[in-house]
A and B are shown apart, each in its own frame.
Chain A
Amino acid sequence: MASPCEILIEDRDSRRASALLETVSREAWRIEAKFSRYREDSVVQRINRSGGEPLELDPETARLLDFAARCHELSGGAFDVTSGVLRRAWRFDGSDRVPDAARVEELLPLIGWHRVGWTSPRLVLPAGMEIDLGGVGKEYAVDRALELARAGTREPVLVNFGGDLAVSGARRDGRPWRVGIESLKHAENADRELELSSGALATSGDANRFLLRNGVRYSHVLDPRTGWPVPDAPRSVTVLAGNCTEAGLLATLALLQGAGAEEFLREQGVSSWCLR
């Protein structure tokens, strides 16, 4: 989670608030340490280095993989935690270095959750494949942190991990939290601030990651089934839902719809904002 994290607790008792803050931050760091693909000692690294050998996973990781498997199924393969391998071919640095088709083609056999042997809690990840839980890890951490905060206090709490956030309820005076949406800062015709008295907000996408070649803009949203960017994907999608995990997933699935993102979100009946 290479992004600023904050937890707002509306409490006059600063000692109680800081004790709670510590509990919640510890949980956030624990989740980051466990699921980061950049950390040598993480579960994800252990999985990615298993070299095709079966692994027994702990219940929490198993629940996350169950969730990933279900999302893969529900999205018809559009959401896939094994798609990170495509990073070997694609670097969205604003340049014009679009990889050649052959390079993308040779990566495709390493992508696809259907190739993975998963019978909870036993995982067999074929050699050369990788998983990346970055797509759900941060939102999961927000929900976990809020749950912990709720267990520790009755005061209103807002958990914000790099723009993915959730609130425990309205503020003490009954008014909603006012939340600024960074990703919509430069969007015209969109409120940059919204009021939130329940639920969670998650954003998928990154407005600054793309490639540009011969006037064609290649978005960083890659379709795991083709290995190529989804055409006409919004730069980012922000979704308001009951919890952060659900909001994040809906935002990601919307991005994968490309030009149909807005319509997809409308069909889901959620409040959302697309930046194009």
Chain B
Amino acid sequence: MQLSRSSSELRSGLAAATVALLGAAPAPARATEATSSALLYTEPNRVTAFETRADFTRQLSRERVLRYSFTLDALTGASPNGALRAGVPQTFTGPSGTASYRVAPGQTPLDDSFHDTRYAGSLSVDLPVGRLTTSTLGLNLSTERDYFSAGVSARLARDLFRRNTTIAIGVSGSADLVRPFGGTPDPFGLVSATVSEPEDVTSTGASGGFGRDEGEGGEGVPQGSEGKQVADALFGITQVLNRSTILQLNYSVSRATGYLTDPYKLITVAAAPGTVNAGDPLDYRYESRPDTRFKQSLYAESKHSFGRDVLDVSYRRMWDDWGIRSHTFEGRYRLEVGEHTALEPQLRWYTQTAADFYRHSLIDGEPLPSFASADTRLGAFDAWTGALKYSRRLYSGHELGVRVGYYVQSGDSSPPDAFGSQVSQDLFPRVTAVVTQVSYSFAF
């Protein structure tokens, strides 16, 4: 005996008849899932960031999912201004143009005038396109006093081979606006700062912010604005390997154009080798970066379950046309202890090469290069992160998570091209940070 209809027609007809009988397709009982999270990021004696975040996932129907999030991010404390440590006291004028700060010999020059609050929100929706294809459309907004960003993204994912394989393609674009405090500095503009003689302890900073485009705003008000555009594309494949292993591979490209310079970062102009005070800072200039950057990355992640426990490993290779190459390895092991509790050690290792235009200082008397930055984030360094997460499932599907992590970043403190008094200074001070995060998930 054969059925009169083709099998796909039968299945879809039956599904439609079932829906008519039972009413709408049964919606999941938990309509909205929320995760709220608070994070404290502290670098000893430096910056402290407090971030609160709420993520919501609302199941509109079986295949339509709405996600939205809100972030509030408050930053206080001091950040390195890019200038090198020196054997002499250094005085800088803050970006507002009036306040000045002194840095003792052998100390990292830190600018503590950064107090900013960031508000960000995101919205995305999953919409089915046929039975096996899902589209995701997203929108991001972020604003702080000196920065604004708006972005859109679109992604298509298709399931293949009995849903064992998913291929995805996505594009995103963002338009950002940088409004530096004190105006946008000229590339390599001289900074109003003086280098004090050791006995001249009462020296004050020079007045005015020459080297910056003066806007008409008052103190601490962002002036002028620069644009930045980022376009990303991503190709991904996710494959179920076996009953307990899943693998994801992504290739992505990203092109940024516009103002890519950090308006607050300085670069020391050091007295030339052979002079009396070789290596000492004579002056400071604002940094200058290219106005395009093209990045590519390969990313692989695999999750494997060992009974109740789950191992999550990932690797990322990133390279760009600034000459930066990086490797990131990350591993997490979720260990179930007891019926409702899990412990998850997390370990991450990161290494990057320096940008072609990265240099710890400029040399007085030499012609200026096209681009230069002393921002150590563009230098060569390694970083380790170790963290431990504790999570506990509570009543009614509520879940509490606590994570404590330690981050350490170290580069070459005594680079071979250091000269004169630079040789006795730590030219790549270690960055350490403690990250504490508490999160709580629930459904309503």
Q: Which residues of A contact B (CB under 8 A)?
A: 12, 63-64, 66-67, 70-71, 74-78, 140, 143-144, 146-147, 150, 153-155, 168-169, 172-174, 223, 230, 242-243, 245-246, 249-250, 253, 256-258, 260, 264, 267-269
Q: Is the CB of A78 within 8 A of B3?
A: yes
**Nearest Cβ distance between residue A38 and chain B, in whole angstroms?**
23
Q: How far is the CA of A67 from the CA of B28 in the complex (A)?
A: 24
Q: Is the CB of B7 within 8 A of A71?
A: no
B339 at the binding interface (Cβ < 8 Å): yes
Residue of A at shortest CB range from B7? Answer: A267
Q: How far is the CA of A185 from the CA of B218 in the complex (A)?
A: 83
**Nearest Cβ distance between residue B132 and chain A, in whole angstroms?**
12
Q: Is the CB of A245 within 8 A of B18?
A: yes
B443 at the binding interface (Cβ < 8 Å): yes
**Nearest Cβ distance between residue A71 and chain B, in whole angstroms?**
7
Q: How far is the CA of A256 from the CA of B17 in the complex (A)?
A: 19
15 A-B interface contacts by CB (under 8 A): A63-B21, A67-B21, A74-B5, A74-B10, A75-B4, A143-B26, A144-B22, A154-B29, A154-B396, A172-B393, A242-B15, A243-B22, A253-B10, A256-B1, A260-B2
A67 neighbours in B (Cβ, 8 Å): 17-18, 20-21
Q: Is the CB of A76 within 8 A of B17?
A: no
> How many B residues, CB 8 Å from partner?
31
B4 neighbours in A (Cβ, 8 Å): 75-77
A267 neighbours in B (Cβ, 8 Å): 7
Q: How far is the CA of A172 from the CA of B10 in the complex (A)?
A: 35
Q: Is the CB of A143 within 8 A of B22?
A: yes
Q: How far is the CA of A64 from the CA of B340 in the complex (A)?
A: 43
Interfacial residues of chain B within 414-444, with CB under 8 A of chain A in the complex: 443
B11 at the binding interface (Cβ < 8 Å): yes
Which of B10, B25, B29, B395 is the one whose CB lies under 8 Å from A12? B395
A154 neighbours in B (Cβ, 8 Å): 29-30, 396-397, 443
B13 neighbours in A (Cβ, 8 Å): 70, 74
Q: Is the CB of B21 within 8 A of A64?
A: yes
Q: Is the CB of B7 within 8 A of A243?
A: no
**Nearest Cβ distance between residue B308 and chain A, in whole angstroms?**
8
Q: How far is the CA of A153 from the CA of B1 in the complex (A)?
A: 45
A144 neighbours in B (Cβ, 8 Å): 22
**Nearest Cβ distance between residue B45 and chain A, in whole angstroms?**
42
Q: Is the CB of B397 within 8 A of A172?
A: yes
Q: How far is the CA of A13 from the CA of B30 in the complex (A)?
A: 19
B14 at the binding interface (Cβ < 8 Å): yes
**Nearest Cβ distance between residue A276 and chain B, in whole angstroms?**
17
Known contacts A63-B20, A154-B397, A264-B7; 14 further A-B pairs (Cβ under 8 A): A71-B14, A71-B17, A74-B13, A76-B3, A140-B21, A150-B26, A169-B28, A172-B393, A172-B397, A174-B393, A242-B15, A249-B18, A250-B14, A253-B10
Residue of B at shortest CB range from A168? Answer: B29
Residue of B at shortest CB range from A64? Answer: B21
Known: A67-B17, A150-B29. A223 touches B340 (CB 8 A): no
B395 neighbours in A (Cβ, 8 Å): 12
Known: A150-B29, A154-B29. A76 touches B22 (CB 8 A): no
Known: A67-B21, A243-B18, A246-B14. A75 touches B396 (CB 8 A): no
**Nearest Cβ distance between residue B2 and chain A, in whole angstroms?**
8
Residue of B at shortest CB range from A74? Answer: B13
Q: Is the CB of B28 within 8 A of A74?
A: no
Q: How far is the CA of A146 from the CA of B142 in the complex (A)?
A: 43
Q: Is the CB of B7 within 8 A of A268?
A: yes
B18 neighbours in A (Cβ, 8 Å): 67, 243, 245-246, 249
Map CB proximity to A onto B205-227 as digits: 1 under 8 Å, 0 otherwise. 00000000000000000000000
Q: How far is the CA of A264 from the CA of B26 in the complex (A)?
A: 26
**Nearest Cβ distance between residue A142 and chain B, in whole angstroms?**
11
Q: Is the CB of B443 within 8 A of A74?
A: no
Interfacial residues of chain B within 1-44, with CB under 8 A of chain A in the complex: 1-5, 7, 9-11, 13-15, 17-18, 20-23, 25-26, 28-30
